[in-house]
Amino acid sequence: MVTKAKTGLSNKAAEALANQHGKGKIVALSAGVRLADRVNPLMVEAMKEKGIDVSTNRPKLLTKKMVEEADQVVTMGCSVEEVCPAPLIRDVVDWELEDPKGKSMQKVREIRDEIEQKVLALIAET
């Protein structure tokens, strides 16, 4: 799960949801193309509502090794105006998610729920 943003938002939620729902089927890792210092507190709270604690998760920088070892790379939303790793990666799927940075708690919940639906669909395909 890859994000272009440096705020550690969507990809941490996707990683946690994929690992929870996909136990025994998939292993998800998340990273960004720019490093953040922490996961957004609103996303931490939204994930707690789902019974998942991501408060100790720390954003990671995407590495070439991560990409090479991945069966599938999912980006959380890229645009040509910003840094986007998708053109450089094989088997990439872009979920085109809205960036939760600066959004209300209600909007962050909506994005979290959209991520969860996409994760469940991805797991069903494997």
Give the fold, CATH level 3, of 2-119. Answer: Rossmann fold (3.40.50)
- 29-80 pLDDT per residue, tens: 888 877 777 778 898 999 999 999 998 888 888 888 888 888 888 888 765 3
If one compares 99 and 1, the residue with the highest pLDDT of the two is 99
- Name the amino acid, one letter, at 125: E
Question: Is the Cβ–Cβ distance between 35 and 48 less than 8 Å?
Answer: no
Q: Can you say whether the dihedral through the CA atoms of 12, 18, 24, 30 is positive or negative?
A: negative
What is the model's pTM?
0.84
Instruction: Give tens-digit pLDDT for 108-123.
Output: 999 999 999 999 999 9
| Cα–Cα distance, 77 to 98 (Å, whole number) | 7
Q: Half-sphere exposure (CA, 13 Å, Cβ side) for 87? A: 6
Delimit the domains of the chain by residue range: 2-119
pLDDT band at residue 6 under the 50/70/90 scheme: very low
